[in-house]
Amino acid sequence: MVDVFPIGYFNLILIFIKMKTKSVSLLIVFTTVFFTLSSFKSAINIQESTVIAIYDGHESYGYNFIGKHADGETFTLTFQKVDDAVLKEFDLESEAFIKATFKITYKTKVLVTKDADGFEDEEEVNTITKLEKL
């Protein structure tokens, strides 16, 4: 009797099925990892602004300036970063410029991340890009 399908043929089919199963499994794993990691990605929103304020000094968390709203109410604006070019012109870590009035051009970067539970967390970082003493 002659076999229509030799044993080797069935082995090839089994190998093909195993390879296909591995490929599908790997695709599922990579897709899951991609979507899991992309949920932790930061969304960045950058806004540039200008304000006139009085320098109040440097602390470990940043450079503080006191400004006034249109209604006369004061507010404190803290800058976590200062461009190197600005720091070369103005030594803000010394007390020489305390109580000096400046026109400040700055960028506010809002970093939005999602925690492990899917809740959004916002972190605001203010960077002085230009400083003019008035």
Please check the confidence at residue 63 and state whether its pLDDT lies above 60. Answer: yes
Residues linked to residue 87 through DSSP beta bridges, in sequence order: none
Domain ranges of the chain: 1-38, 43-133
Please check the confidence at residue 9 and state whether its pLDDT lies above 60. Answer: no
The pTM of the full predicted model, rounded to 2 decimals, is 0.60
Cα 132 vs. chain centroid, distance in angstroms?
A: 28
pLDDT tens column, 21-54? 555 555 455 555 655 555 444 546 677 889 999 9
Architecture of domain 43-133: Beta Barrel (2.40)
Tokens 């969304």, residue located? 43
Average of per-residue pLDDT across 110-124: 81
pLDDT tens column, 74-112? 999 999 999 999 999 999 988 899 999 999 999 998 878
Return the pLDDT at 90.
Answer: 93
Q: Answer positive or negative: Cα dihedral of 7, 8, 13, 19.
A: positive
**How far is the CA of 98 from the CAs of 12, 95, 132, in angstroms?**
81, 5, 14
Provide the pairing of β-strand 120-133 with 81-82: parallel
Neighbours of 63 (CB within 10 A): 25
